[in-house]
Chain A
Amino acid sequence: MNNLMKKWRRYRSVKTAICAIVIAAPFVVSAGPSADAGVNLIANSGLETLGSNGFPVCWEQSGYGDNNYSFSVSNQAHSGSNAMQVSITSTSSGDRKAMMLENPSCAPDVTPGHQYNLCVWYMANTPDVVITTFRHDVSAGWQYWTDLKSLQVTGSYQQACVDTPQIPSNTDQITWGVTIYGVGTLITDDYSMMDDTQPATGNACTAGAACTQGAWQVMPFNSPVRAIHAVLMYNGDVLLVAGSGNDPNEFAAGTFTSAVYDPRTGSFTQIPTPDDFFCAGHVQLPDGRILILGGNLAYPAADGSHGYEGLNTSYIFNPATNTYQKVNNLNDGHWYPSATELGDGDVISFGGLKADSSGSVTTEYFSNAQQQWLPLNQVNQTWSFWGLYPAMILMQDGRLFYTGSHVFGNGLPGSGADIYDYSANTITAVSGLQDKDERDQSMSVLLPPAQAQKVLTIGGGNVTTNVDANRYTDLIDLSQPNPTYTPGPLVPTGTLTGGTPETSAQGKMYVSAVILPNGMVFETGGGLHDREDPVYEASMYNPQTNTFTPGMATDPVPRTYHSSAFLLPDGRVMTVGNNPGDGSFDMRVSVYSPPYLFDGARPQITSVASTAWSYGSTEQITVDSPIVSAELIRPAAVTHSSDPNQRYVDLPMTVSGNSIGLNVTSNPDIAPPGWYMLFVTNANGVPSVAQWVHLT
């Protein structure tokens, strides 16, 4: 860490000299005064060389949307004579930014896997200013990459610095600039960009197969309840909910159960459970309490006179008191409803079965401000049936993406996936989902980082036709103008009971996909048929390369219907549940240690200046060793392969030795308010233990 500090100080002291050199020879990437002091990769970084159009060479005017704006070269320079001025005088949409030219001679070259320290001197009289990056994909060309750091209002020059994330594969150049998207003026000068790569120290693993496959442990105790629903809470405990536990005898007896599990001690606390939360919806509210909605009013009658019936009740579980508190009723009964938190902390819910066993077409809306479900006439209604546990993922602009992942039977009519705009109350079909009627109990995940707006849908089957579950994955990039699913890599095949290998056409339903702090998605569990034929297979999906690494260690316990997997704050993955057709329930608890837990010392977060975080802020932490990334991961609220709120939010870093500024997105639709696990990860991909922070 001392070396890091020295590097930082050295870099700062030579900046002015570097800028002067670049100004004098703007097209030559100049070396600093010493070989290890870093090289400013920005051409015309001081904006001193103007082209025939009067605009700085190697820079361009960029932006979009409905706004009145101007670009100009200002003499309010930080050094030299010129600075860049961008003003917006009115706006209803979009932004403006002066960007490095996207051409081979002006855009800085980069190396995949490296990180770069970006700095700029600026003045701004609006807070709606952010450092923005674009990347050149060697296949797909130039594209928006990510926002890195919101800049504070300042009337005199300040320097803003931030590290890029590790450069994605297939990237050979990036450009960046400062975006203004509110009414006001931004003046910038003296840009710099230096390679700030933190080298990996090499694999320190001596744990044999666990080094590459990870390792499972079946805990020496059972869950006291049928863990059909699992919710990780901000105090580190896990709420496991059974309700009647898919056991009509328990239902008839009025026996409803849930328990709180403490992963640190392996202890359980039984919780008095006031209603049958079997097949309810659940989601964390902004304050960390758990909203429970709907559930089971009745099991099907033996004579077929009615099917499952949905409860219209709702409760809030308080982790501080381990108690349920009733809130007002829903407008409709809902058995298998979705629950998605919105950027303002409200919760929206779709689908499920009503109290008369028919499909609910009622959208339910919980107001966080009012702490109640809104009456029907205050909620935009599509009057459309969204199926059971429809996976509705919040997009960066507040719309919802229905991924096509659902529970039971066929997908929705049409293409099987949609974008729903609540404000406009419109549903637009999204094409490309493969075999949409065999995505029953597939799982969809918003891939890391959430800023990239990519979703992967994995596997699935159909409990009615009971075909072999499939190996499909489908990937969609919601940042595209017209997002459509494209086929992803096939899920690796596994083995069935007795060690029989799956055929090349056999995949899995009941699949679990868990985001890990190293940016990978751990795929585990599942079965080949309706509640039967567990598939022993686990793999690691890499969102950067769109590939699965097969051959991860497999859970010794079958995990099919009513199974769940979720990340613990210590970086391990916990799995629960299995409810085959014979009516039994596997009460065993498994815990998976990913390979990163065998790869040397873990970085530690030694302090968090404040756990109360806000959007667009830079939050300060200290660490005990160098890190390459920091991330927020939303705690799980999972059932039936469905956790549409699961997300990983990248926190671009401003590094000063072992003090790290973590730059939080300004957009609550990227990171809805609530408690998050804060991880930091080192160059070997080894994460810290999480600290809990509260983002509002």
Chain B
Amino acid sequence: MSMRNVLVRMRRVPGHTVAIFAIVAGGIIVGGATAAAHPEPSLLVPKSAVGTKPTPHILDFAQDLRGERLKLPAGPRRVPVPWNVDGCDHDYGTVNQCVPWTVPASVGQRCQWLAAHGFSPLKVRGRDRQNLDSNHDGMACDKGDVGE
């Protein structure tokens, strides 16, 4: 019986595996080793298996997920993203400045906070959303503005 046939038979009849290997152990199929009184232990190896790389050993991790299975949209849709996604209030300053969308200071302290962080008086390029230009002269946090 060729080894290929043995392997085929093993695949089909798993319950016979032990019996098959009892034959192997008895020296009928010894993969080229001599079948003497004390034969060297051996295992028949298909030529195709020699030198082959293993397949990835993937483990059964994270196979019992209990979180919500999200319902996927049926197709593409538009997802609006606000222009201030970067956290910058582009109403103020030069094009490469980023006045925080939310200045982390109380009303009346914001201009001081901005000055302490390197922002000199800021041109109001859009609307004065954060009320930093209280005298409405087009420059935020300059002389005459609250908290300046």
Inter-chain contacts of B117 with A (CB < 8 A): 532-533, 580-582
Q: B43 near A: Cβ within 8 Å?
A: yes
Inter-chain contacts of A93 with B (CB < 8 A): 60
Contact, CB under 8 Å: B21 / A183: no
Inter-chain contacts of A692 with B (CB < 8 A): none
Inter-chain contacts of A414 with B (CB < 8 A): 68, 70
Contact, CB under 8 Å: B14 / A125: no
Inter-chain contacts of A468 with B (CB < 8 A): 104
- Of the candidates B24, B52, B98, the one whose C-beta lies within 8 Å of that of A583 is B98
Q: How far is the CB of B32 from chain A (nearest CB, A)?
A: 8
Q: Number of residues in A with C-beta < 8 Å to the partner? A: 119
Q: What mask results when residues 285 to 312 of chain A are scored 1 for a CB within 8 Å of chain B, else 0?
A: 0000000000000011111101110000
Inter-chain contacts of A304 with B (CB < 8 A): 83, 90, 126
- Of the candidates B10, B41, B64, B77, the one whose C-beta lies within 8 Å of that of A156 is B41
Contact, CB under 8 Å: B56 / A667: yes
With contacts A383-B76, A479-B61 taken as known, whether A428 is within 8 angstroms of B99 at the C-beta atoms is: no
Contact, CB under 8 Å: B81 / A299: no
Inter-chain CA distance A78–B63, complex, in Å, is: 38
Inter-chain contacts of A643 with B (CB < 8 A): none
Contact, CB under 8 Å: B61 / A478: yes
Contact, CB under 8 Å: B67 / A397: no
Q: A391 near B: Cβ within 8 Å?
A: no
Q: A37 near B: Cβ within 8 Å?
A: no
With contacts A87-B21, A249-B96, A361-B73 taken as known, whether A125 is within 8 angstroms of B83 at the C-beta atoms is: no
Q: How far is the CB of A496 from chain B (nearest CB, A)?
A: 11
Q: What mask results when residues 317 to 351 of chain A are scored 1 for a CB within 8 Å of chain B, else 0?
A: 00000000000000000000000000100000000
**Which residue of chain A has the shortest Cβ distance to B49 in the bound complex?**
A153
Q: How far is the CB of B109 from chain A (nearest CB, A)?
A: 14
Inter-chain contacts of A399 with B (CB < 8 A): 62
- Of the candidates A64, A299, A467, A532, the one whose C-beta lies within 8 Å of that of B95 is A299
Contact, CB under 8 Å: A481 / B62: yes
Inter-chain CA distance A398–B51, complex, in Å, is: 26
Q: A212 near B: Cβ within 8 Å?
A: no
Contact, CB under 8 Å: A359 / B56: no
A184, A408, A418, A582, most chain B CB atoms within 10 A = A582
- Of the candidates B52, B59, B86, the one whose C-beta lies within 8 Å of that of A396 is B59
Q: A653 near B: Cβ within 8 Å?
A: no
Inter-chain CA distance A384–B104, complex, in Å, is: 32
Q: How far is the CB of A418 from chain B (nearest CB, A)?
A: 7
Contact, CB under 8 Å: A308 / B68: no
Contact, CB under 8 Å: A307 / B81: yes
Inter-chain contacts of B58 with A (CB < 8 A): 396-398, 667, 669
Contact, CB under 8 Å: B102 / A425: no
Q: How far is the CB of B107 from chain A (nearest CB, A)?
A: 14
Q: How far is the CB of B65 from chain A (nearest CB, A)?
A: 5
With contacts A408-B87, A481-B64, A482-B66 taken as known, whether A89 is within 8 angstroms of B17 at the C-beta atoms is: yes
B13, B83, B96, most chain A CB atoms within 10 A = B96
- Of the candidates B11, B70, B86, the one whose C-beta lies within 8 Å of that of A429 is B70
Contact, CB under 8 Å: A615 / B53: yes
Q: A437 near B: Cβ within 8 Å?
A: no
Inter-chain contacts of B65 with A (CB < 8 A): 419, 428, 430, 482-483
Q: What mask results when residues 376 to 416 of chain A are scored 1 for a CB within 8 Å of chain B, else 0?
A: 00000111110010000001111100000000110000110
- Of the candidates B31, B70, B85, the one whose C-beta lies within 8 Å of that of A409 is B85
- Of the candidates B24, B67, B74, B79, the one whose C-beta lies within 8 Å of that of A358 is B79
Inter-chain contacts of B75 with A (CB < 8 A): 383
Interface of chain B: mostly helix, strand, loop or mixed? loop
Q: What mask results when residues 590 to 611 of chain A are scored 1 for a CB within 8 Å of chain B, else 0?
A: 0000000000000000000000
Contact, CB under 8 Å: B97 / A583: yes
Contact, CB under 8 Å: A418 / B49: no
Contact, CB under 8 Å: A125 / B44: yes
- Of the candidates B11, B72, B78, the one whose C-beta lies within 8 Å of that of A382 is B72
Inter-chain contacts of B94 with A (CB < 8 A): 583
Q: B146 near A: Cβ within 8 Å?
A: no
Restricting to A55-90, which residues have a CB under 8 Å from any CB of B? 64-65, 68-70, 72, 74-78, 83, 85, 87, 89-90
Contact, CB under 8 Å: B104 / A529: yes
- Of the candidates A382, A427, A482, the one whose C-beta lies within 8 Å of that of B69 is A427
Inter-chain contacts of B53 with A (CB < 8 A): 127, 614-617, 666
Contact, CB under 8 Å: B69 / A428: yes
With contacts A130-B54, A428-B67, A583-B98 taken as known, whether A479 is within 8 angstroms of B62 at the C-beta atoms is: yes
**Which residue of chain A has the shortest Cβ distance to B67 in the bound complex?**
A429
Q: B35 near A: Cβ within 8 Å?
A: no
Q: How far is the CB of A206 from chain B (nearest CB, A)?
A: 42
- Of the candidates B18, B59, B99, the one whose C-beta lies within 8 Å of that of A397 is B59
Inter-chain CA distance A466–B86, complex, in Å, is: 11
Q: A163 near B: Cβ within 8 Å?
A: no
Q: How far is the CB of A272 from chain B (nearest CB, A)?
A: 23
Contact, CB under 8 Å: B41 / A616: no
Q: A512 near B: Cβ within 8 Å?
A: no
Q: A539 near B: Cβ within 8 Å?
A: no
Contact, CB under 8 Å: B95 / A302: yes
Inter-chain CA distance A272–B89, complex, in Å, is: 33
Inter-chain contacts of A483 with B (CB < 8 A): 61-62, 65
14 sample A-B contacts, Cβ–Cβ < 8 Å, listed by A number: A74-B25, A127-B53, A128-B55, A130-B54, A153-B50, A249-B96, A301-B83, A307-B85, A358-B78, A362-B76, A429-B67, A431-B67, A616-B53, A666-B56
Besides the known contacts A302-B95, A581-B119, A583-B98, 18 further A-B residue pairs in the complex with CB atoms under 8 A apart = A78-B41, A87-B17, A150-B54, A154-B43, A155-B32, A307-B83, A308-B85, A384-B73, A395-B62, A396-B59, A408-B85, A466-B100, A479-B62, A582-B119, A666-B57, A667-B57, A668-B56, A669-B56
The 8 A-B residue pairs with the shortest CB-CB distance, nearest first, are: A463-B87, A359-B79, A68-B14, A429-B67, A481-B64, A307-B83, A582-B118, A583-B96
Q: Measuring CB to CB, which residues of chain A are less than 8 angstroms from any residue of chain B? A: 64-65, 68-70, 72, 74-78, 83, 85, 87, 89-90, 93-95, 123-130, 144, 147, 150, 152-157, 179, 181-185, 187, 246-249, 299-304, 306-308, 343, 353, 357-362, 381-385, 388, 395-399, 408-409, 414-415, 418-419, 425-431, 453, 463-468, 478-483, 529-533, 580-584, 614-617, 666-669
Q: Measuring CB to CB, which residues of chain B are less than 8 angstroms from any residue of chain A? A: 7, 10-15, 17-18, 21, 24-25, 31-33, 40-46, 49-70, 72-88, 90, 93-104, 117-119, 125-126
